[in-house]
Amino acid sequence: MKIHLLHTNDLHSSLENYMRVGHRLRALRANLTASKEVVWTFDIGDLIDRVRPETEASLGRVNAAMMRALSVDAWVFGNNEGLTLPSSVWGELGNLANTRILCANLQQLNGQSFPFFDRALILSQENVTIGVFGLTAAYPLAYQPLGVKAAPPFETAKEVVQELRGKGCSVVICLSHLGLFDDRVLAQRVPGIDVILGGHTHHFMHEPEVVGHTYIFQAGKHGRAFGHVSLEWVSDEKRVGSVSVELVEVNEYEPLDRAMLAAYESWRSEIDTVMGKQVAEIPERLEVRFRGESAFANLLADALLANYDAHLSIMMSGALTASLLPGRADQYHLLGACSTPTRPVLMNLTGQQILSILEVGLQPEIQMKLGKGFGFRGAVIGHLAVAGAVIYTKELQDGQHVIEKVMLAGKEMNLEGVYRVATCEYLYLTHTFPQFQCGTEVTFGAPMVRELLVNYIQQENVWEKANEIRYQIDSTVDEEESQ
């Protein structure tokens, strides 16, 4: 007997591609079912991404409705579902998708399971019992302010595998949104998993990796492909025999799945109503620059500092992907200009660490470096915008800038002093600014930075403040340097 596992991962609200995948996947599944084969369909997380207006307006409900149209048997939440959507909508998403949400290592803060999550799922077919469970990447600090406990995935996996084997499961499958590197570790540390269907790291795998007796496979990102894993069940020996995999690539000419398209279109009116709501009246052009200071980036830093008790805030202008023109600005405009789901992070840093971060941020090669991962949704990192500080820099003969001093609340920053800094999770987690990771007393904020921005620009007197210069540049060159 053959067991077929069809799986998607990391769609990130690429909704058109999702419908193309759906058309191809549905046809394959129908052919296999017609041949009396056993078929299960899974999603491995990050189906949702609030960069997309439809997802933003519906808090993922449109994605869930499309999943329902596709008929998916189980869904493991990725970090985009877990960290960018309030837990109050999680249960509704499962109901809308008409599927089981498998997320064994996300719990309530008291350690109790969420009622809408399943620790595992047991599927029976003919003479074989299959246990399926899900794991997601654990970011304990980020989940805590959301009222969620992220349990260690490897320890959780050991417990669940023992439970499933104890209940008579002959085959154990893990739906893992941990990433390929952690999937390898999982296979090494936790015996008894037959197949790991992965996601999170966006690997396009044409062949499986085999670690011990565990097969690992992942199907890329953004709906450019889906996975098809076939297990040969040896009934007489009650074990998995051969395992074959296929990365089923889907091109842009593939037809859209009609049922999924109908589900999508049923939400259009509500989406336009929500996203068309006016947020603010912009009095003047709000420009964003990636090389040098700009009012829009300053406004973003101001919004961050206004919401937290900190000495200063630091944000990258690359979190903004467009300038705003004068006039009416609605939710569509704000999402288009600031689509990142990055959230606030607060920490204590020394004056020397802050100075090092700002000096790195002045380098042109850093400002034009491509941003990647950790909620980054723009192109380049851009200029480091600050609020609560004035930075005095000096331009050297070669065009480079050095920082002479940093003023905080009218006083020069003490390099040995300790200051509370508000920043975002991208800057905290990226290796481009390693000094952020030296911070102490680190806490995460619950709202996304762009949600703070939307609320902040509705206040009065924010525009003039955004135009205040934070980087004072002395362009004179010392005589000694010019000789």
Q: Which domains does the chain have, with CATH numbers?
A: 2-271 (3.60.21.10), 277-482 (3.90.780.10)
**Cut 0.85: pTM above it:** yes
**φ, ψ of residue 67 in degrees (nearest 5):** -65, -40
**202 contact partners, CB below 8 Å, separation of at least 6:** 10, 220, 221
pLDDT value of position 1: 85
Could you tell me the CA-to-CA distances from 191 to 49, 173, 185, 211 in Å, in that order? 33, 12, 11, 10
Whole-angstrom CA distances from 117 to 16, 104, 168, 413 are 28, 8, 22, 49
- Note whether 414 and 348 are within 8 A (CB): no
**Mean pLDDT, the chain cut into blocks of 10 residues (483 residues total):** 96 98 98 95 97 97 98 97 95 97 96 94 90 96 95 97 96 97 98 97 96 97 98 83 95 96 97 96 94 96 97 97 95 95 96 97 93 87 97 82 92 97 96 95 94 94 93 63 41
State residue 240's pLDDT score. 84
- pLDDT for 241 equals 84
> What's the pLDDT score for residue 137?
96
Give the pLDDT of residue 477: 44
| Contact by Cβ (8 Å): 378, 284 | no
- The pLDDT, as a whole number, for residue 479 is 43
- CA proximity to 387, closest of 344, 446, 426: 344
429, two tokens: 């987690």
